[in-house]
Each structure stands twice: as C-alpha cells, then as structure tokens.
Structure 1
C-alpha cells in the first residue's frame, strides 16, 4: 500500500550527509562485505527547503513536496562505498522513482557514493527504495500543509499503529533548531537485509526532544 502522498507531498533525496559516519557506509565493489541492514531516510521537505537556501531551488522545494526519500543507506563494515557503475534508469523507472526522489542529480550522486556496498545494480536498488516507500504508511501530520506541534511519543505510536510489523526501535527522528524551536527534518527507518523492519543500531543518530514542530509548507 502506498505510504507517501505522491502528489504535492513527498520528501527529498539528500546525499547521505545524514549520519553517514555512524552507519559505516562503504566499499567500491558490490559484495565487498555483507550488508547488515539498511536505513531509509525520509526527509521533511518543507523543513529542509527552509533550512538550506541551496536546496530551496531544487524540484522538491519548487513543486511543494511534503516528503521525499533522501536515501536507503547500507549498514556495512566497509569503509568506502563508492562505485563508478552507471546510475542510469529507464525513462519509466526514472519517472516512478522521481515521485519520492525528485532530484535526478542527487539520485546519481547517492548511487555513486553508496552503490559499491549494496548487492544490486542501480535499477534494483531504486526499485527497492520504491518498494520500501510504498509499504510504509505515514501519519497525516507529516503531509499536512499546516504547521503542527507534535510529541515524539505520539508520532512514534502513530507510525507503529499504521505499520504493525514495525518494532518501536525501528524508527528514529532528527530535528534542527530554528530560533530555539526544534523542527523535524528526518525520519529514519531501519531494515534487515531482507526488507523486514528491525531495531535500529546505536549508530543511527536521533536528536529530537520530546516536543517539536512539523513544518507544513515552504
């Protein structure tokens, strides 16, 4: 079942400057080391667009996405994940992927940065991203055009209610402070290599306080 509201609301595809160090992202050869799991990073697009003037000119900001996928990051013991393998997708697949990862250049940069650590080619990798995104159901507060104040516990419970197979420890939240007000910027979901949800490892960062703002529009 589709999770994201695939119209004006999605999140963005960022380079994995998102807690990359803590995840041990890496190697230039596929199968270089076993993948222990994946972390899917869902970005709150309005918050990200507001915080970064450079990103505000990207498609996800200009077209009013609410959520977008920043990346599906491999957890591995390797220390270098770069690959020169092609990130080119068929026109049809590129169109589908753009619904949750709208910026083509960011998708290409992401693949070249982490593709050496995943046991699949670019087409298979982005198909996996879509599969995970379509299975995930998100609370309506994340796609509302209105700003909302949310308690971390309540948001977590909503995710668990909508996704019964998700353990409480499979979801992490990241925030950024704006004039002293914490704003939700990312939701991270943790997966086993087979795609089932799992408890996030200690390396997956989380920093939101008990209460924060969900920005509804940019």
Structure 2
C-alpha cells in the first residue's frame, strides 16, 4: 500500500471508488521523426463511463474509479506508431500501474498503438507514466462524490496552486455534451521530452465552455 499526504495525487485515485478498492524489455527502435513532447490524458471516469457503453464494462467503471489515465501520448509527425512488441507487466508493477490504468487490455492496446513512436522501451514508458502521475496533484472537486458546476478558470487556478511548476498554458480541458450540459471528460497535461511541463500545441485543444459540470464519482 502506498500512502500520501492530505492532497491527493494521481496514484491515489483508486481509493476514491465506492469499492474502496517487471515490465518486458525490448530492443531500442529507430525513429524517423523526433518527438516534440508528450500529452498525458487524465479521464474523468464517471463521465467517460456514462458516455461510452463499451467503457462502462471496463474495470475502471465497474470498480468505481474517480479518475484514470488513458495514456501518455507522443507528439510526433509520424503517422504510423504501431509496434509488434508487447508490454507484459510483472505482478508487482501491474499492481502499481493499475492504480491509474486499471484495465490490462487498455494498457496493451495503448502500447501497441504508440510504442513505435516512443523513444523508450515499454518498461521505461510505463515507469515514466507513473512518475508523471505521482507528481501531479489533483483538486478535490475531481474526486468528490458530488456532481457540481465549475468555472474553467477556477479549476485551472486550483491546478496551478497545487502544482507550482505547472504553467497555465500546459493544461487543457475536454468536455462532452449531455442534454445540453457540458460535462468534463478529460484533463490533458503537456510535457517536454525531459518531463518538464510545456505550452500545449495547437493540436491539443480546449473544448470546454467557461462553465461546465464535473460528474460526481458514483
């Protein structure tokens, strides 16, 4: 069990559900295009489960996760990032990664889809994701059981207050609409190759209005 301080970090997300609830090494690959950085996508699990019937059958929904990571995506001009290598986790590492990415099939599909453009092996990739997740502190409104309206500016300011090294232009919010209401589905964080935050590129769009809904955790 990993314990944290009063302010929750990403690795503690699994604890907010109602349930209370060595990676393989591969030879280095040759990359045709350099990476411009990475984008970590944090999903608002209750909202995502509500919008997607297929995802509602996944572990993150069935076990009541408040938040999860869908991936750490490379920014590259390459159009084909697939890899034939696999990413089989040891039981110990699988338990750690599952706290932010609980569905094993989703982890495997992620790696097969982006592994060809990631300048690290699968072990380093998932370790990097965990490091970024552990460093990020999350506003309590995103893990609350209460559904509430939120001003985008206020949520951004809370992220900046909890994460002093995070610049305002390194975070983007994504929303989907239900019955005329904008609901927060994703928070996206932009990184340089060395792990420092950076200004998000124009391709990483902000799709939320000034006021949106944060769906409570089950």
Global fold match (TM > 0.5):
yes
Match of 1:105 in 2: 105
- Looking at CA atoms only, which structure, 1 or 2, has the larger radius of gyration? 2
Describe the superposition over 1:141-198 as per-residue Cα deviations: whole angstroms up to 9, x where unpaired: 0000110110000000000010010111000000000000000000000000000000
Q: Tell me the distance in 2 between the aligned counterparts of 1:193 and 1:173.
A: 21
Query: Conserved in 2, the CA contact under 8 Å of 1:30 and 1:115?
Result: no
Q: Tell me the distance in 1 between the aligned counterparts of 2:98 and 2:112.
A: 17
Q: Tell me the distance in 1 between the aligned counterparts of 2:30 and 2:107.
A: 18
CA RMSD of aligned residues (A): 1.3
Q: Tell me the distance in 1 between the aligned counterparts of 2:60 and 2:203.
A: 28
Q: Tell me the distance in 2 between the aligned counterparts of 1:66 and 1:169.
A: 25
Q: Tell me the distance in 1 between the aligned counterparts of 2:161 and 2:63.
A: 30
Query: Conserved in 1, the CA contact under 8 Å of 2:151 and 2:211?
Result: yes
Match of 2:9 in 1: 3
TM-score normalised by L of structure 1: 0.88
Q: Tell me the distance in 1 between the aligned counterparts of 2:171 and 2:66.
A: 19
Specify every segment of 5 or more residues in structure 2 that has no aligned partner in the other structure, as ranges: 18-28
Match of 1:84 in 2: 84
Query: Conserved in 1, the CA contact under 8 Å of 2:40 and 2:190?
Result: yes
Describe the superposition over 1:68-118 as per-residue Cα deviations: whole angstroms up to 9, x where unpaired: 000000001111100001211111111100000000001100000000001
Equivalent residues, number: 200
Q: Please list, as runs of the form range in 1=range in 2, the aligned pairs for 1:182-197 lying within 5 A after superposition.
A: 182-197=182-197
TM-score normalised by L of structure 2: 0.88
Specify every segment of 5 or more residues in structure 1 that has no aligned partner in the other structure, as ranges: 11-28
Query: Conserved in 1, the CA contact under 8 Å of 2:142 and 2:214?
Result: yes
Q: Tell me the distance in 1 between the aligned counterparts of 2:138 and 2:148.
A: 15
Match of 2:46 in 1: 46
Match of 1:144 in 2: 144
Secondary structure at the counterpart of residue 201 of structure 1: coil
Secondary structure at the counterpart of residue 208 of structure 1: coil
